[in-house]
Structure 1
Amino acid sequence: MEAIRLHAYGPAANLRLESVPDPVAGAGEVRIAVHAAGLHFIETLMRRGQAVGPHPAPALPAILGGEVAGVVESVGEEVPAELVGRRVVTSDVTSGGYASLAVASASSLATLPGHVDYGPAVAMNTTGATTFGLLELAPLSASDVVLATAAAGGIGTLLVQYARGAGARVIGAAGGPAKVRRVEELGADLAVDYRQPGWDKLVREAFGEVTVAFDGVGGELGQAVYGLLGRGGRHVVFGSAAGEWFFAGEEDAAARGVTVYDGIAHLLGREGGVGDLRARALDAAADGSLTPAVQAFPLADAAAAHEALESRNTMGKVILVP
């Protein structure tokens, strides 16, 4: 099979397309013919040899990636043969997802509903599930004024759509003219370029105070977003694309009457896992209530995909297509 392998930690250029032996499904596993593989920012850290949470740097040579959508091609022992031919998505790949074939545990599979294609399935499998998990912390209504950062990204795109569907007034903050145009196309009531000075003043002039803010960027932007929240506001933090997290101090938040939520801690500590969130996300894609944004790169261009993600020059969920 073809796969992207990493032989030395370092820049994206170290990711190389190679021919390697096909993986074999063991007991309780399936082999999937990959149609789309998800790319996550943490994989750019792993590529550099960094540990991610409790996980050490990958042993070399490595095939990165743990999330794919495709068709079950073969099954191992103790797995029903009727799974062969089924369209599935999983985030539990054990052989590496940047490949034309991947092995995953049979118990991790979700069947693709209806006409959902492979790229959107990968997007909704993790990004969509994360979005629904964040919305558990801050349910939205027509009385809300919602601000989403990185609004042209995978989660941001879904948050803008969901907030519009809830009848809320929606502000999408994105970096650069192209991304701002994308947020406008999504139907946000106001799209602002957070790279431009005074963007927060535009928000105040248009809406006054924000009631709910979803922040996946952090840093100075996260602090500015927090400053736009009025009394009773909810600040849901789920990322640090700027390189550092921003969480308001407890005393300051209490004095302002703002509730701060750690979205990632909520997802990791959620009782029963996130399987039901994945199902909701896939169903939302199937019924058309949410349309994930997907930016596809050929598998051979994995290095370019990593570079684009690291430089924040992507819009939507980044996938690799064998």
Structure 2
Amino acid sequence: MCFYLKPPRGGLQLHILEETINQRTNLLNDLIKKKDLPTNFNCLIDGTALDRTGHFILRILSVKEVPFTICMKLISSFEVEMRKGIAFIPCSKWKLLLQELYMFYLKLECDLLLNNSGFLEVFDDPRFEYLIEKRRKIQIDKDVPIITVDKIEQEVEKFPLCMQILHTTLKREHRLHHDDRVNLTLFLKNIGLPLNEAITYWKLEYDKPSNHCTSCSHQWKDSEKRYVYSIRHMYGLEGSRRNYGCRNCTQLQDDAVSVRSCGGCPFKLYSNSSLKKLLEERNCSEEIINGILTSRVHDSRDACKLFVKYQRQSNQSMTNVKNINFSNPVHRMYINAGEPANASDVNFTE
């Protein structure tokens, strides 16, 4: 028997798999009890597919009890049983456990790297920037298309209302309040807008003279370095190089709307008349508008769910409002695009 690093490939009939496990278990028991070795060991020959399979299956079967601290998502969603700090993982949840373990240790290693000054210096190396740019051109996942500036207008109708407002305000006034600019940048980043496209997106608007409705008088040509640095910072390539994510719905609902800002959750923060006007501009029926205005009294997220239903019906895709769940504008975007509400955020930091 060997210790293998690479898992087996291919398929195996259940009765052969069972025999492989039995032979390996019996051998381990005999070794522990110092008994004579068994004569039937055709599944235990070093280097064979059966020996490799038996090794990995027993490794998996041994993961039955784990500390609750490494499977917090499973615990919080009540998907596993826990007693005295130990989580008991059924076989149907092993895949989820492995995913959570992977993300746990990946985050741990990333945090260690970010605290390593030598690692941060790598990002200032022009060779590394060249590699980032080359990698950006490779579409990693065929199911997650990269969004470009010229395609944003086609995607706007799928945006949650909070982000639609920011985008249309930017197009109309060519400027946004600082917090609104941050929120829109992070949203676009997380739905797949690469760094160079984000720079182009903001440059196209800030190159134009500001509308009289905004007090911002900055021009792109005069403040290009500052704007580019700010965008690169939000993409995790400057400063502390944190991988910033889009703000969640609760944070947007708690925003204090200022005179210059148009951000935050419109279902929570806007007046009935202002929200009604926005919905009418998007051709919502009177029934939908009245339903949204009623729902917002109890829960602004329920009102947003009704707007989701309107958008999905417009796209010939019906959705049961009760089954709609999202935690931030990016998840909300996936719902409109027909993806599961719990889809992982797309994140292009290059």
TM-score normalised to structure 2 length: 0.27
Q: Which one has the bigger strand percentage?
A: 1
Question: Per chain length, whose mean CA-contact separation is higher, i.e. which structure has more relative contact order (CA < 8 Å, sep 6+)?
Answer: 1
Q: Which one has the bigger helix percentage?
A: 2
TM-score normalised to structure 1 length: 0.29
